[in-house]
Amino acid sequence: MSPQFNIPKTQVAAIVETTDAPLKVVRDHPVKQASELEPGECLVELEYSGVCHTDLHARNGDWPIQAKLPLIGGHEGVGRIVAIGEHTQTSPVKVGDRVGIKWLAYSCLDCEPCRKGLEQSCLNGRYSGFTVDGTFSQYVVSWVTHVTPIPESLQSADAASILCAGVTVYRAIKYSNTHIGDWIVLPGAGGGLGHLAIQYAVAMGLRVVAVAPHADTGAEKKELCLKLGAEKWIDFRETKDLVKDIVDATDGLGAHAAVVTAANGQAYAQAIDYLRMGGTLMVVGLPARASLSADIFFTVTKSISIVGSYVGNRQDAREALDIAARGKVKVHFVLKPLSELSKTYEGLAEGTIVGRVVLNMKE
């Protein structure tokens, strides 16, 4: 018999009313009741929510596509299902299950991208904390086919950032055409995505060069990257020739792949130069406004592949969580209450956050 939960009428939530207004934390935001859920929907009581750079872009409205307003941001939530809509058929989850809420809140599973495994690029997709309300609230509505079961051995706070940051870098490395013993360069290695990319790369048998562009510099980030398994650390403020230093560090031939998680266009500009013949550039970090610059001559003559990688599908999420549950990947985070979200956004904008911030939604 399914457990019974008392669902309140109101909740605490952080709301973006307009892009030029201060973030507002309210205590009387309505909670969708069990009787109001549509078939296929579920209500999740959240325990924790990670904070992602994407949330800052949604809050600022500085992407080429705009988030809905007013908006409850957030897309790295972990909690328990407290209700499922009536007449939901063949649900893969049940009331009481601990699940994760991801960036991809819903996909139709029937359009061509979905059928080909690109659910995250669904023509009818809905996105948590962007086109539908997300996880910066105590309760969130999602869909039973898209919430992700959390492995029993993984603590909820540890799982939160795997649901976006972890999935994103895991998929990018998975499709980077690399093999055990290959060199992979990670610009942005000291950030939220980057520190997880190091661990996934090491777990997959790759040799890591951690590169710190712009805001990712600093002794604390260098120490973290080397501790996590990077063999080389290169700081753009200290190097006189970034390309040469990377090539020298990778057997004099260049890296087999680069996964750029830095959210600035400049981090992509030199990748073609330091990749070896047949190398792969994985385009991951999303600057607000930037173009991808690549030397066409050397892209062709070096047989370079340039691949865009956008979060991950439902299978990628399960795989990324499984690796973390087996102790191969650990999110380095600090716990904060929801009331600290505005200050967290400031830290993201300034590049001062090491690792990740996770919000305790019970406080």
The CATH number of residue 114's host domain is 3.90.180.10
From residue 210, alpha-carbon distances to 73, 176, 220 in Å are 30, 16, 13
Q: Is 17 found in the same domain as 159?
A: yes
Confidence of residue 216 (pLDDT cuts 50, 70, 90): low
Asked if the structure places residue 2 within a domain, the reply is no
Lowest mean pLDDT among 33-47, 193-207, 283-297, 306-320: 283-297
Cis-peptide into 70, omega within 30 deg: yes
Establish if 1 belongs to a structural domain: no
Q: 154 with 88, same domain?
A: yes
Q: Name the residue type at position 342.
A: S
pLDDT of residue 340: 95
In a domain, 4, yes or no: no
Q: What is the DSSP string of 192-208?
A: HHHHHHHHHHHHTT-EE
Residue pLDDT, tens place only, 58-91: 999 988 889 999 999 999 999 999 999 999 999 9
Examine residue 5 and state whether it is found in any structural domain, yes or no.
Answer: no
Instruction: Pick the last residue of a domain from 308, 330, 349.
Output: 308
Using one digit for the tens of pLDDT, what is the confidence trace for 344-361? 999 988 878 877 899 999
Q: Is residue 43 part of a domain?
A: yes
What ranges in 163-313 are assigned the alpha helix state H?
Answer: 165-174, 192-203, 219-228, 242-249, 266-269, 271-274, 296-301
Three-state secondary structure call for residue 59:
helix
User: Has residue 210 been placed in a domain?
Assistant: yes
- Alpha carbons 185 and 201: distance in angstroms, whole number: 10
- pTM for the model: 0.94
Q: What percent of the chain has pLDDT over 70?
A: 98
Q: Count H helices and E strands in the chain, helices first.
A: 12, 17
Are 85 and 176 contained in the same domain? no
**Shared-domain flag, residues 42 and 175:** no
Report how many domains make up the chain: 2
- Residue 269 scores a pLDDT above 90: no
- Same domain, yes or no, for 24 and 84? yes
DSSP strands (E only) in the chain: 10-15, 24-30, 41-51, 77-84, 98-101, 104-106, 126-127, 139-143, 148-149, 183-187, 207-212, 232-235, 255-260, 275-283, 305-308, 333-337, 356-360
**Domain-located, residue 14:** yes
Domain boundary among 269, 286, 308: 308
Cβ 177 vs Cβ 257: under 8 Å: yes
* CATH code, 241: 3.40.50.720
| Residue 154 sits in the same domain as residue 26 | yes
How far apart, in Å, are the Cα atoms of 25 and each of 137, 142, 233, 249, 339? Answer: 9, 21, 40, 48, 7
Same-domain check for residues 222 and 128: no
* Per-residue pLDDT at 1 exceeds 80: no
pLDDT above 90: residue 139: yes
First to last CA, the chain: 30
pLDDT interval class at 212 (50, 70, 90)? confident
Residues 146 and 185 grouped into a single domain: no
Q: 182 with 207: CB under 8 angstroms?
A: yes
- The answer to the question of residue 118 being in a domain is yes
Same domain, 136 and 201: no
**Full residue range of the structural domain in which residue 302 is found:** 166-308
Same domain? 297 vs 326: no
Residues 198 and 226 both lie in one domain: yes
Rg (CA), the chain: 20
Place 190 in a pLDDT band, splitting at 50, 70 and 90.
Answer: confident
Residue pair 258/281 in contact by the 8 Å Cβ criterion: yes
Same domain flag for 38 and 101: yes
Q: Each residue of 276-313: pLDDT tens digit?
A: 999 999 999 887 777 888 889 999 999 999 999 999 99
